[in-house]
Amino acid sequence: MTLKKAHELADGGIITEAGNSEQFHTGDWREERPVFIPDNCINCLFCWIYCPDNAIVVNEEKKVVGFDAKHCKACGICAQVCPKNCISMEPGGEMENDRQD
């Protein structure tokens, strides 16, 4: 068996279509889950800004209302950037709105 040379390999890491992350459900990766405490939230939207997976759900009034279980992989960035500690990471990957397919 001979190995391919670099110029013979397919290009990798190329984004061929901008905004296609909505098509990929990464929530199955979770070993933890975010828990939202709405009474502490000041709606600064830091969690929404920093979330790499577009998993923070914000309503029409621009208030955080929860997490999109299909896209949240529980990286914990939202909990780290929250100035009011209204998001905590807890053991267990199942979330309330996990899909049932």
Q: Where are the alpha helices (DSSP H) in the chain?
A: 46-50, 77-81
Report the SS3 class of residue 71: coil
Structural domains for the chain: 42-89 (3.30.70.20)
Residue 90 burial (CB count, 10 A): 10
Burial of residue 23 (CB within 10 Å: 0-12, 13-18, 19+) is exposed
- pLDDT higher for 101 or 2? 2
pTM of the model: 0.73
Amino acid symbol at 55 = A
pLDDT tens sequence across 3-53: 888 888 887 777 677 666 677 777 777 889 999 999 999 999 999 999 988
